Amino acid sequence: MPLKHAILALVLERRGYGYELVQRFEERVGPGWRLNPSAVYPALDQLERDGLVTSAARHDGTRRSPRIVYAGTPAGAAALDGWLAATDAPLEPVRSELHLEVAFAQPRHRAALAARLAARERACGELLGRYPRAHGAPLVDAAVVARLRAELAWLADARAALARDDG
């Protein structure tokens, strides 16, 4: 699970609590990866159950309830090393709800599908406009930019094919 390993990497770099880890994650990978903050805590819980991180309550005097601060363990460092050294990771499948909509749309759905393709094209263009960033990971930025450009090319092809079918 890549998210779990990314969070583990952040904790191993420097102790942190959930919200801070979300902020550091977003600073590192940028707006191309939409991290749901509610996914961080289950990942931290799993990492702790697996013995890869530990947690401790910290009172800072400004909050009524303590913050839970996470720190990496030697087992966590070994797990991260293993994840980063793996060479047999399967190729991520290309799965997009929009691809299924294109595949299964009926002629009566063409107008709605054209609107959906146009909306996705605008959203990809807007996200592409937020790159390159002045900080973060340049290789991650390059990967996001390449993926967005490929998505925009596919969207243009899909809209052209839809227009030909209408003609």
Residues 81 and 101 in one domain: no
Q: What percent of the chain has pLDDT over 70?
A: 95
Give the position of tokens 């009524």.
Answer: 64
pTM of the model: 0.73
Question: Does 102 lie in the same domain as 69?
Answer: no
Residues 75 and 121 in one domain: no
What is the C-alpha to C-alpha distance for residues 118 and 126, in angstroms, rounded to an integer? 12
- Judge whether residue 1 has pLDDT over 70: no
User: Of 13-17, 24-28, 79-83, 88-92, where does mean pLDDT reach its minimum?
Assistant: 88-92
What pLDDT does residue 24 have? Answer: 93
* 111 and 81 belong to one structural domain: no
Give the CA radius of gyration of the chain. 21
pLDDT at position 154 is 93
Domain assignment of residue 116, yes or no: yes
Q: Out of 85, 113, 148, pick the residue that ends a domain.
A: 85
What integer pLDDT is reported at residue 135 of this predicted model?
60
Q: In this structure, are 7 and 70 located in the same domain?
A: yes
CA 26 to CA 2: how far, in whole Å?
15
Residue 157 falls inside a structural domain: yes
- Check if the beta carbon of residue 37 is closer than 8 Å to that of residue 1: no
Helix (H/G/I), strand (E/B), else coil: 17 = strand
Report the pLDDT averaged over residues 68-80: 96
Same domain as 74, residue 7? yes
Q: In whole angstroms, what separates CA 162 from the centre of its chain? A: 30
Whether the predicted pLDDT of 167 surpasses 80: no
Tell me, what CATH number does 47's domain have? 1.10.10.10
Per DSSP, the three-state class of 22 is helix
Domain that includes residue 144, residue range = 97-166
> What pLDDT is attached to residue 134?
58
Q: Which of 62, 85, 108 is the last residue of a domain?
A: 85
Token pair, residue 40, equals: 């961080």
